[in-house]
C-alpha cells in the first residue's frame, strides 16, 4: 500500500510523464540537443514560469481566504493555468535532473527515479505539519526561496566550482516538491 506522499508523487509523476511525452517523442539527436542546454537556461525558464504564474495566485485564492470553490469559468481557467505552470516547473526541474544522466536511464525510469527522490524528501519532512491548510501564496513564496537556492548552486556549478551535481538535483527536487504541494492544495492532483 502506498503512503499518502507516495500516492501524490505517483499522480504527479503521471502528469509529468504526460507533459514530457511531447518533448521526448522526437529523434535521439533532438533529445540530446534538449539535454545539452546549459543549466542556466532551464533555471531562467523556471523563473519565468514562476513569475508569470504568480499573478494567478490571488485569482484562485484571494488574500485572507481559503481556497475558492467557485464554479466560475474564469476561476477554473485560472486554476488550470496555475496547474499547467506547476507541471512546467516540474518538467524543467526534471530536465535539470535528467541532464546529469542522459544515457543512464530510459525516460520512464528517469521519471520514476525523480519521483522517488521527491518522495524521499517528503518522507524526511513528514514530521512537519501537513500542508493542506496553508494558503497557495505561502507555497509560492517558499518556492521563490528554493529558486534562490537553486540559482546559487547553478551559478556555482556553471562557474566550474567543484560542487558536483548533487546540490543542483537537491535544490531542483525542493522546487519540484513545492510545485507538487500547490497542485495538491488546489486539489489539482486528479
**pLDDT (tens digit per residue) in 160-181:** 999 989 999 999 999 999 998 8
User: What's the confidence (pLDDT) of residue 150?
Assistant: 96
Residues 105 and 113: their CA atoms lie apart, in Å, by 9
pLDDT per residue over 66-78, tens digit each?
A: 544 555 777 778 8
Domain segments of the chain as ranges: 4-185
Among residues of the chain, what percentage have pLDDT more than 70? Answer: 75
Q: Residue 20: pLDDT band by 50, 70, 90 thresholds?
A: low
Span 104-124, pLDDT tens digits: 777 778 888 888 898 889 888
Q: Provide the 3-class DSSP secondary structure of residue 150.
A: helix
Distance CA 47, CA 178 (A): 14
Burial of 149 (0-12, 13-18, 19+ CB in 10 A): middle
Three-state SS at 64 = coil
What value does the mean pLDDT take over residues 2-31? 64
pLDDT at 94 over 60: yes
Residues 6+ apart with CB under 8 A from 10: 2, 115
Highest-confidence range of 30-34, 71-75, 130-134, 154-158, by mean pLDDT? 154-158
Amino acid at each position: 500500500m502506498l503512503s499518502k506522499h507516495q500516492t501524490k508523487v505517483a499522480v504527479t509523476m503521471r502528469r509529468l510523464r504526460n507533459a514530457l511525452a511531447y518533448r521526448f517523442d522526437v529523434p535521439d539527436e533532438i533529445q540530446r540537443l534538449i539535454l545539452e542546454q546549459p543549466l542556466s537556461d532551464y533555471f531562467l525558464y523556471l523563473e519565468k514560469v514562476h513569475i508569470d504564474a504568480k499573478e494567478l495566485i490571488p485569482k484562485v485564492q484571494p488574500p485572507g481566504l481559503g481556497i475558492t470553490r467557485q464554479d466560475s469559468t474564469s476561476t477554473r481557467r485560472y486554476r488550470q493555468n496555475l496547474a499547467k505552470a506547476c507541471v512546467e516547473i516540474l518538467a524543467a526541474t526534471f530536465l535539470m535532473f535528467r541532464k546529469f544522466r542522459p544515457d543512464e536511464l530510459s525516460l520512464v525510469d528517469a521519471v520514476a527515479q525523480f519521483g522517488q527522490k521527491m518522495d524521499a524528501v517528503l518522507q524526511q519532512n513528514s514530521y512537519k505539519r501537513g500542508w493542506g491548510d496553508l494558503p497557495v501564496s505561502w507555497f509560492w513564496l517558499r518556492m521563490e526561496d528554493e529558486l534562490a537556492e537553486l540559482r546559487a548552486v547553478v551559478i556555482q556549478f556553471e562557474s566550474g566550482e567543484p560542487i558536483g551535481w548533487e546540490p543542483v538535483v537537491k535544490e531542483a527536487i525542493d522546487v519540484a516538491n513545492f510545485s507538487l504541494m500547490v497542485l495538491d492544495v488546489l486539489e489539482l492532483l486528479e
